[in-house]
Structure 1
Amino acid sequence: MPADMDEFWVFGYGSLMWHPGFEFEERQLAVVRGYHRALCIHSWVHRGIETAPGLVLGLERGGSCKGAAFRIHLDSRDGVVDYLRERELVTNVYLERFIPVRLPDGRRVTAITYVADRNHRQFAAGLSVDAAARIVANAEGKSGRNSDYVLNTVSHLRELGIRDQWIEDVADRMLAYSAAG
């Protein structure tokens, strides 16, 4: 963790945006370049099981991603990092990174975030909309049905004014599969 940071920021691109689980001093929509949001992680705990994994979000290389940046009081930094590591590193499928983030007012800050580890066996590379929708439609884990996770994600992204066409397409296709039985 960079020791010389006079501000501490967290970047969230999924459920962290609307359910951070920590106190913050400021939240702004923000953009990162070089990564995009994707259903690219096989979930063996929260939205599936190892023999029938679901899919959850990760940051994958390429493109850009609009998410939320949270400014954390420096006195809370260590506790927030501990919390994030417990939340995000359950199976170590994410890599903790400090990345540049652009805020709406033009400021550029460095934020901690969690990106998909392309070398981890839970990484789900290059899934089509159809393949992702079939996985999501049938998976369930200790935190509930994978389909609920995807629909909740789409709903919250829209509430924040963020459109993610690929994930919306997965949700639409998944609903079509569910309706067809």
Structure 2
Amino acid sequence: MNVSEDTVELQNEVLENEIKALWVFAYGSLCWKPGFKFHKAVTGHVKGYQRRFWQGNTTHRGTEEKPGRVATLVEDYKGVVHGIAFAISGEEAISYLSKRECLLGGYISQFSTFYPIKGEPFKVLAYVATPKNPLWMGEADDRDIAHQIIDCSGPSGHNIEYLVRLANFMREHFSDEHDPHLFSLEKEVLDLVNKNNMCLETLMGNGEGCVSFIRKDLFESESQAVQDEDRIESFEHSTRMEEKILRCLNI
């Protein structure tokens, strides 16, 4: 694990009294770089959407001259999108997300139903881009999107990092699920990286502000055997890193 990454506990059971909190659904960069203070992180999915790289980005993963491509939710009544629900706290988190997702990202907020791996469904706030926003790029062939992704970077890093970290997150936490669009894009991009002799390690950046999650059940079963303190950082410890987390505006 990169020394700049933080490891936090992923708890997949939601208690009834916690559902009253405000929960935010993460399906893109929020999965691995939330950047805000939260009480709990739970894996699961929402229904009625597909994840698509149809939204442009000019402030974090691209520029005005070369907009990057980032994920959004596109309505599909048969669709399912897996990700994380975060229980957030304080007005700072809402203000941060409004700036990151709406003001800079072009997304709007709407509520959806989240189905956790364990427990009853509950409402989550999701940030969704629509064709009405000026950054919308819309549908394109995966190969064309891949060519755009390898050519774009912004203040927060390369567009390739965004895609690859999201694909890695899905493989790690939803190994039995398949996201054809996401994994097809990743394959196309990595093929182009190899073809063009690009250095993937450099493109992935230094991991500053990134978060690695460890499941609560795995955490508890292995905690006695694991001596590396970096791997045993508790969820409570992660919430104390408020200054570092809240000032990060990367997407």
Q: TM-score, normalised by structure 2?
A: 0.64
CA-CA distance at 1:180 after TM superposition: 2.3
- The answer (yes or no) to whether the contact 1:137–1:175 under 8 Å persists in 2 is no
Task: Tell me what 2:182 maps to.
Answer: 167
CA-CA distance at 1:97 after TM superposition: 0.9
Q: How does 1:26-175 map to 2 (within 5 A)?
A: 26-62=40-76, 63-72=79-88, 76-91=89-104, 93-161=106-174, 163-175=178-190
Which one has more relative contact order, counting CA pairs under 8 Å at least 6 apart?
2
- In 1, the alpha carbon distance for the partners of 2:104 and 2:139 equals 21
- In 2, the alpha carbon distance for the partners of 1:25 and 1:48 equals 31
Q: TM-score, normalised by structure 1?
A: 0.87
Q: Higher strand share goes to which structure?
A: 1
Letter in 2 for 1:9: W
| Structure 2: tracts of 5 or more residues without a match | 1-18, 197-251
CA-CA distance at 1:138 after TM superposition: 0.8
- In 2, the alpha carbon distance for the partners of 1:17 and 1:58 equals 13
| Structure 1: tracts of 5 or more residues without a match | none
**Max Rg structure:** 2
- In 1, the alpha carbon distance for the partners of 2:68 and 2:186 equals 13
- The answer (yes or no) to whether the contact 2:46–2:80 under 8 Å persists in 1 is yes
Aligned with 2:66: secondary structure? coil
- In 1, the alpha carbon distance for the partners of 2:192 and 2:105 equals 31
- The answer (yes or no) to whether the contact 2:57–2:105 under 8 Å persists in 1 is no
Letter in 1 for 2:189: M
* Identity rate, percent: 29
